[in-house]
Structure 1
Amino acid sequence: MRVPDPAVLLTVRTSREDDVAAIAAIYRHHVLTGLASFEEAPPDLDEMTRRRAAIVVAGMPWLVATDPAGLVLGYAYAGPYRPRPGYRYTAEDSVYVGPRAVGRGVGRALLAVLVDRCEAMGFRQLVAVIGDSGNAASIGLHRALGFERVGLLPAVGFKFGRWVDGVLMQRGLGPGAATLPDRPRPA
């Protein structure tokens, strides 16, 4: 999918193994400087490779947004919301944008494609667990794409010497909960 933007023309595509170094660098920035992730030490390249492979092997989407030169500007993926079979129609999204690409539509382009992919896979709900109730950018991004705030977990995390909330947002996919699933999803 190509998304026009005043600053850059983006391409959102399925990630490849050779994207992992750029993905790891973006995530490292967020771990060290922000509250989107409650990790305190950035995982190394081998661990990020393992994490991506686990999502891909499970048949779930892991996307990257690139500029015309192929530079990875951000990434997004969906994983199982919880491991129990009863949650098989619900996925959880994660979206991370590189620091030089913030405010350029990268997150919106990634999340829009991720929503479409999850819906096409038969998921009925997509959940976002957003670190920090003050994370206006992520909350606004999700709200703009149809997510609603459904909960707040006060002081559920501790990072940078302070307590941090978790914000729960959710969006129905396809008919959502209005009908029973019309096709089985692997448990």
Structure 2
Amino acid sequence: MIRDAGPGDLPAIGALWNAMIRDTTATFTTQEKTPDDLAALLAARPGSMLVAEADGIAGFVTWGPFRGGPGYAHTAEHTIITARPGVAAPLMRAALARAHQQGLHRMVAAISGENARAIAFHTRMGFAKTGHLPQVGRKQGRWLDLILMTAACKAP
């Protein structure tokens, strides 16, 4: 079941997100999300954080401003993290549909060049590669590329 995230979901969301931050190069940040960080994010993004529920939280997706300024008002960047197979595609479809309802036009995925699974997933979901920024991130003692992909926000 895909539904809006609520305050009670934040510990599970934090556990998924912080494991990715600690253990992978899928995200370039090294600062784990605190409970206060997550509560502030949920408050700042009403209707823009969804969870997949299947015997607990199996994944989440959230989106927010891509860049500042009015020229980017109809573009969002998302984060999607899942713990079980089969939940990423329904979450992404729901996010694109909700973003469309919110008046957004394009969704951006900023993906580590080392994350081949995420690149393949986004390609299957209709995202197209629109940029490759070499060695713009650094984590775990090495330089990392950033792949940008975009898709139209659309009704299901």
TM-score over 0.5 (shorter chain) = yes
Task: List alignment gaps of at least 5 residues for structure 2.
Answer: none
**Percent identical residues:** 32
Partner of 2:147 in structure 1? 167
Match of 1:125 among 106, 118, 122: 106
Q: What amino acid does structure 2 have at the position aligned with 1:97?
A: T
TM-score, scaled relative to structure 1: 0.78
Q: How many residues align?
A: 154
Q: Kindly state the Cα deviation for residue 109 of structure 1 after the two structures are TM-superposed.
A: 1.4
Distance across 1 between alignment mates of 2:58 and 2:68: 30
Could you list the structure 1 runs, at least 4 aligned residues long, displaced by more than 4 angstroms after superposition: none
SS for the counterpart of 1:74 is: strand
Partner of 1:73 in structure 2? 58
Bigger Rg, which one: 1
Q: Deviations over 1:24-77 (max 9, x none)?
A: 000111001112221113122122221222122xxx51000010x3x0011101
Distance across 1 between alignment mates of 2:66 and 2:143: 24
Partner of 1:31 in structure 2? 21
**Residue correspondence of structure 1 range 25-104 to structure 2 within 5 A:** 25-56=15-46, 60-67=47-54, 69=55, 71-98=56-83, 101=84, 104=85
Partner of 2:9 in structure 1? 19
Q: What amino acid does structure 1 have at the position aligned with 2:125?
A: L
Task: List alignment gaps of at least 5 residues for structure 1.
Answer: 1-10, 175-187
Distance across 1 between alignment mates of 2:35 and 2:2: 22
